[in-house]
Amino acid sequence: MNKIETQAFIQENFAQYYAQNSGSIQSPSLMEKREFAFLIFKEKTMLRHKGLTTAEELRNALKTIAPSDVYYSCAYYERPEEDMEAKGWLGADLVFDIDADHIPTPCAKQHDTWTCNNCGAAGHGAPPENCPTCEGQKFKDESWPCEVCLESAKEETLKLVDVLTKDFDLPIEDLRIAFSGHRGYHVHVESEATRTLDQIARKEIVDYITGIGLEPIFHGFEKGRGPNLDDGGWRGKIAKGTYEYLLTTNSEQLARLGFKKSTVNALIKEREKILESWREKGPWRMFKRISAEGWKKIIQKGIEKQSVKIDTVVTTDIHRLIRLTNTLHGKTGLKKTIVSFTDIERFDPLKNAIAFEKGALTVVVSEASQFRLGNETYGPYKNERVELPTAAALFLLCKGAATVSE
């Protein structure tokens, strides 16, 4: 099959999913004030500015259109079907997108690839700023959801929930957590307390969560003194992050911070005493080899560990479109799935978000990294004809890594 025929095949399966599962598609709150959008398989065009008023209307639209991806606005509008300037913005949910793309994981070099749009040069990992062959700056990149990436995204999600509930005092009942269907999680805050926040206020929230612009001196650190592990807010986070950094760092990492060899050796040798010192007031007084500037470098590493890796653009955008729950992700065939806070530790996105449970399909795989779906691991494949369960076959088809065998 060629590319167009493959897209038609994927759409046929998506259409069957929506025909059989439309009852599971829950409409968002106040849906009559939301904009809906559908990414169409044909030419990957976006059908936007759609207003829907009932769950039945939404389900009928999904069955009729059978889209690649389905979105709704985080914003509430007086007139959702009008152009952006005429919609009449009323407010917006506070949303966060945590994606493995924003988290540095070593496995990315194994399963992610890039190709230069200009000369066709290719490589593994994240795209470079400039193509090493032609200096081009536009790339086609392909990222895969692996267990390491997804676990990293889950850890960031838990950190975010901790900040929102403890530092911002938001009730856990106002938070809705969902696996995105690809490589991360969404956290929605639907609360009157946050609904009318403008972009500037949302930027302030982003800066706090990501630790932008923190000055240690304003959080209890000065020569010989520093924050404690049981402090609240960023004071405590700085202490926890510094503790974690000192617990896990090695000689090479400390040397890269500019410390002399003697200081590096002493830090490594005295690591246990330094960590024990947190039972009292921390290591700020006891380790006098490190200057105030040296401590600031270590603290900055601690801040990096405690900051939450989010897509900052998503949170500050008061008109953002977000994927609709229980709809399919066009890059994987998995579904966006709600995860309760009490179940998130046990949640397995590569198992719990599978939409196609039955059947098998023979596909020709051009190239694919090893991946897991359910309890089975597949690949790696290169120029192979294989029979796979429908979910695994559609995953490869959606990724553009396979075609249906004729």
How far is the CA of 278 from the CAs of 206, 232, 240, 258, 266, in angstroms?
A: 29, 15, 10, 24, 18
Catalytic, 93? Answer: no
Closest CA to 79 of 30, 28, 33: 33
Cα 276 to Cα 46: distance, rounded to the nearest angstrom: 57
Instruction: Write the DSSP string, 153-220.
Output: HHHHHHHHHHIIIIIS---GGGEEEEE-SSSEEEEEE--HHHHT--HHHHHHHHHHHHTTT--GGGGT
Beta-bridge mates of residue 368? 381
CB 75 within 8 A of CB 320: yes
The label of the residue with tokens 């694919």 reads 368
Determine which helix (DSSP H) or strand (DSSP E) holds 269, and give its type and residue range.
helix 261-269
69, 93, 99, 101: which is the annotated catalytic residue?
99
**Cα angle: 330, vertex 333, 335; to 5 degrees:** 95
Instruction: Write the DSSP string, 121-166.
Output: -EEESSPPSS-TTT----EEEE----HHHHHHHHHHHHHHHHIIII
Determine which helix (DSSP H) or strand (DSSP E) holds 366, and give its type and residue range.
strand 360-368
Phi, psi of 76 (to 5 degrees): -110, 135
69, 97, 101, 112: which is the annotated catalytic residue?
97
Catalytic, 169? Answer: no
The label of the residue with tokens 């196609």 reads 356
Catalytic, 141? Answer: no
311, 317, 343, 348: which is the annotated catalytic residue?
311
Cα 170 to Cα 406: distance, rounded to the nearest angstrom: 54
Closest CA to 150 of 195, 111, 92: 111
Determine which helix (DSSP H) or strand (DSSP E) holds 322, and give its type and residue range.
strand 321-323
Catalytic residues: 97, 99, 311
